[in-house]
Copies of this chain bind each other. A is one copy, B any other.
Amino acid sequence: MRIGLDMGGTKTDAVALDRDGRIAARARIATEHGADGAVATALRALEALDRGGAARRPASIGIGVPGQIDGGRVRHAVNLRVTDLDLGGEVERATGIPVRVENDVKAAALGASALRRGARADALSEGASRAADADVIAYLNLGTGTAAGIVAAGRLWRGAGGAAGEIGHLSIDPAGPVCVCGQRGCIETYTGGAAIARRWGRGGELPVRDVFDAADAADPHAVALRDGLARGVAAAVRLLVLAVDARTIVIGGGLAALGDRLLAVVNAELIPSGAASPFIRSLRLAERIELLPPASAAAAVGASLVGRGEPVASSPTLRT
């Protein structure tokens, strides 16, 4: 049994995978904040999984965390209110089980890739050959911020120092809005949930959904924000194809809950730009997009794969 935990700012999703890669147990619990809270959350998630007896004596634990990871240490996980914590070491000492920690978007990318492959082969089983599938899959996370994870032949692409996939901070317009990172016109200023909420400025629990509703009612500010989101996502898709030639771009994160409403505006951006260029058209960008289903276990499944040693987290993960 392999445990995977996806620790979000609000909830933690936990799965136990059996040797055949099947989800034997799943639990969702509230996340506690702070260093002690994060460790306690991990231990409570293990208990919750164990309630059904499925997660007894797991071989490994993997944890996906929204922050910068350096070895097993978590640094600057703002949404967890953790600035520096040896989360892997603490959970390992408390349980006696080997623990690996990875950035949540990278873990989710691994999970999304494995779940897609799992539909065709037994990709999640312990004996699965990683090299069998040479597909390049990018996972584009549209959450509070924007980042991607790239998986080739079932392996996470981390790059020289773990910055691979941090495409939210590439500028697509020198006259665009100022980003929290200090640059102008970063993709994340158009696509980040926090950036959209800030520019919308009307509060609400689901500000991006409110923007879409108001845009449907022809509110000009909302239309501008919705069109900007579409432009930013389309730019991210083009970038993931022209830089790494991802065959499939799986869109996940909170904004993926917009479903077809999101896809419709993104496709409207991608298809005209394709029509202008035979080269871009030949890439069939719109056809490469898939939405992660709501309540997908991809992030927790990916964390369990991290736990079993895939990938070897040898270099630090950089996050803003």
C-alpha spacing A241/B158, complex, angstroms: 11
A204: Cβ under 8 A from any B Cβ: no
Interface of chain A, main secondary structure = loop
Q: Indicate which residue in B157, B171, B181, B235 contacts A244 across the interface (CB closer than 8 Å).
A: B157
Across-interface contacts of A241 in B (CB, < 8 A): 159, 163
Across-interface contacts of A319 in B (CB, < 8 A): 279
B244 to A243, Cβ gap below 8 A? yes
A242: Cβ under 8 A from any B Cβ: yes
Q: Indicate which residue in B135, B159, B172, B276 contacts A182 across the interface (CB closer than 8 Å).
A: B276
B172 to A242, Cβ gap below 8 A? no
Using A183-B273, A235-B171 as known contacts, say yes or no to A136 and B159 having CB atoms under 8 A apart.
yes
B279 to A318, Cβ gap below 8 A? yes
What residue in chain B is nearest A240 (Cβ atoms)? Answer: B243
B242 to A167, Cβ gap below 8 A? yes
A172 to B171, Cβ gap below 8 A? yes
A201: Cβ under 8 A from any B Cβ: no
Chain A positions near chain B (C-beta within 8 angstroms): 135-136, 150, 152, 157-167, 169-175, 179, 181-183, 231, 235, 238-247, 273, 276-277, 279-280, 282-283, 318-320
